[in-house]
Amino acid sequence: MKQQKYQVLKQYFGYDSFREGQEELIDTILQGRDVFGIMPTGAGKSLCYQIPALMFKGITLVVSPLISLMKDQVAALNQAGVYAAYLNSSLTQGQYFKALEFAKAGKYKIIYVAPERLLTESFLNFAMYADISFLSIDEVHCVSQWGQDFRPSYLKIIDFLQRLPKRPVVGAFTATATAAVRDDVMRILQLKNPKVVTTGFDRKNLSFSVKTGKDKDRELLSVIEEHGDDSGIIYCITRKLVEEVYEKLQKRGLSVSKYHAGLSDEERRNNQDDFIYDRKQLMVATNAFGMGIDKPDVRFVVHYNMPKNMESYYQEAGRAGRDGEEAECILLYSAQDVHVNQFFIDNNRENEELSDAELEAVKEKDRERLKKMTYYCYTGDCLRRYMLNYFGEYAPAYCGKCSNCLTNFEEVDVTKYARIILCCIEESRERFGQTVILETIHGSQSEKLKKNRMMDNSYFGTARDVTMERLKQIMKHLLASNYLTQTDDGYAVLKLTELSYDITVKGEQILLKLPKQKEITSYTNGVQLKKGGTKAYRNVAAGNSNPRLYESLRSLRNELARELNVPAYVVFTDRSLLEMSTFLPKTKEEMLAINGVAQAKYERFGKEFLREIQRYCEENEVDAKPAMAKSKYRWK
């Protein structure tokens, strides 16, 4: 069995070894035991159910809400020589029943199905008599109403399972799940003694930064310029902003597309394909875009606005660098983002099946998540550490790859002003919000303060010697560290906590990390990125001595992809091309040692790429290097 899974891995997917967590999950599934895999975006979840699917005797069903994921994975499987199909709303009625007919005839090993289809009469007629060995559930956090993306249609899964004459092995997979969501998922789906594998949320190839400047457009253009011809995604919080940002970039002559729910189905599909197939370099979109998009070479993701929670940010930012290469995740924060997200939470009408009490409980949880997301945007600590701690993982205080770690900070003792803020709140009997309290201690003469007689507060004007900006930073730190909290009932009123008295009574010292400078320099693999740098330039920076060959192979790859009408990475990924241009394989054996070059892909494309490499070597009088040990071909 062990040898067989490695043969399947190499033959169909072109890899010699498994990534962290994959083999453990695959072995457990093959033993007939349920699994729950929590693996970050780009960690290779799909292989965890695709390899068992090819080894089981019967059919594997993959439940997914994502039409784009289904199409991409079915296309990639078909190119690899695996018969697979999908059943969702993108098919015409005729296509749907034809696919079901082929499924009944046993043509497919893997069938992707939308959760809404599970309990339809036509699908049940197929499923009741099919030999279903394995049921894999992707984006499984959607089954929990405590998750960030609850979908009532996922509740159909347990009903479907209970109707089957024989229960298959069940695999549950997601990129994001806190402990509470994990427990909820296992309870709802009634997983039987599942093996839970969490590979960790740290994506070491990603760098994170938060920028709080007022000119978001200038910051965005700077990122795009720095990344040259790289693919990138720009997320906006509303459809209106998507249109505005899209028009600004288009007017500058940039290769850009757009995606949001206000566009027609055809326009969304065409725009998405333009981005996936590399006809457009940039995608400006709402959070409706990206789930299930398996485009591995996205080099940067910019959030033009702050998302509503850390789960969403982690998942959306994680669409950068799925190929394991260096990528950037930049969040452009402004206080207005908080108000817009709060409005969306307060007016949530997505889950009409919930009772008023259940809906209010969901809203309360969403408000708490929004607070944690906001704290991420103004913490002075390591951004990676903050994110990993949120998901329950330990992380060191310094990562060296986020804007906070790469900015020079100084620790400032702000105990005096923290105490003034807390004492002012206490003396005013916890009746006011941030603006009133900060204006009071700063000595403002506003009409609002006069109306509330805050000039009589004994702490009025006691913090005149520091800037209002510094006082706001201290206030945010007190909130983020739970020395303060604030209500959510329309007007955010500040309230003291038990920790408040550690400062006011016990005299606890408060040290605040504050930046000496705002600007940082971006690095990739230790090499400074030049503005306008191309992929070829970055290949040289990464140690590739044949950047022109890389670009030639990339052009060949893109031409073949256009002829086949598939995304370019379905032919070969950027990583595969980079290895080819670095190691210059000259035989079939050497080509098969390249990461991602499987037998089926070699038969279809390998010879053309070998000819292109040979042509380059002859024209440039480059000696192809002798075959290297496979361990040296592997990317760590």
DSSP assignments along 396-444, one per residue: -S--SSBTTTTS-EEEEE-HHHHHHHHHHHHHTTT---HHHHHHHHHT-
Contact of 563 with 588, CB cutoff 8 Å: no
Q: How many CB atoms lie within 10 A of CB 379?
A: 18
Q: In this predicted structure, what is the pLDDT of residue 604?
A: 87
Burial of 238 (0-12, 13-18, 19+ CB in 10 A): middle
Q: Angle of helix 310-317 relative to helix 383-390, nearest 10 degrees?
A: 120
Phi, psi of 136, deg, nearest 5: -105, 135
Q: With a cut of 50, which residues of the chain have pLDDT below it?
A: 517-537, 539-542, 626-636
Q: In this predicted structure, what is the pLDDT of residue 397?
A: 81
Rounded Cα distance between 412 and 144, Å, is 43
How open is the CA angle 279-561-326, to the nearest 5 degrees? 65
Q: In this predicted structure, what is the pLDDT of residue 519?
A: 40
Burial of 410 (0-12, 13-18, 19+ CB in 10 A): exposed
Q: How many CB atoms lie within 10 A of CB 23?
A: 19
The alpha-helical segments, DSSP class H, found in 323-355 are 335-346
If we measure between CA atoms, which residue out of 305, 282, 322 comes closest to residue 72? 322
Q: In this predicted structure, what is the pLDDT of residue 41?
A: 74
Residue 431 exposure: Cα atoms within 13 Å on the Cβ side? 8
Contact of 280 with 230, CB cutoff 8 Å: no
Question: What are 182's two structure tokens?
Answer: 């994990």
Question: What are 578's two structure tokens?
Answer: 């980079």
List, in order of start, the domains of the chain with CATH numbers.
2-198 (3.40.50.300), 206-390 (3.40.50.300), 409-515 (1.10.10.10), 538-633 (1.10.150.80)
Rounded Cα distance between 43 and 198, Å, is 11
Residue 57, SS3? coil
Question: What are 13's two structure tokens?
Answer: 């997917």
Question: What are 611's two structure tokens?
Answer: 């000819």
Q: In this predicted structure, what is the pLDDT of residue 53?
A: 92
Contact of 635 with 595, CB cutoff 8 Å: yes
pTM as predicted: 0.66
